[in-house]
Amino acid sequence: MRAEKPAHVIQAVIDAANRGDVEGMADRFAEDAVLKLDPVLPGMRPVYQGRKEIREYLREIVSNGYHVEATGFRESDNVVSWRSKVSGGLFGRAGVGEVEVSSQAIVQMNQILSITIHYSPEAVRQLQQAMAERV
């Protein structure tokens, strides 16, 4: 298998997310991959270890019309970082509009080994407020 550029692997995950294709997303993660949320979203864990746990996170996030627009990909060896505007999914269910996210991943042999997703403080505040209003 020919190695893809790390940004191409990430874009394939984003494309799968925009189609609601959880399996297409999960298949791009190594079996022992790690996904970290910084800060932790309400109702979520800070770390998801392994493809099975990551699949469950992805399923929760993309359900209900998730959409990602990624820009500003930067690569250095097998590390890629980018910024995104995210809407729908978990945020849509909570009544929150578009939020800003920055992420960084380590990709090796077409598989994501680790990814850290940084939600903006404003995104977390909006989600917390929306969820509190629903209670």
**Record: fold of 6-134:** Nuclear Transport Factor 2; Chain: A, (3.10.450)
pLDDT at 13 over 90: yes
The whole-number pLDDT of residue 1 equals: 62
pLDDT at 18 over 80: yes
If pLDDT is split at 50, 70 and 90, which confidence band does 125 have? confident
pLDDT at 93 over 80: no
Nearest C-alpha neighbor of 12 from the set 30, 33, 32, 29: 29
The whole-number pLDDT of residue 122 equals: 84
Mean pLDDT across the stretch 12-32? 96
Mean pLDDT across the stretch 91-113? 91
| Domain ranges (residues) in the chain | 6-134
Mean pLDDT across the stretch 78-82? 97
What would the two tokens of residue 92 be?
A: 């849509």
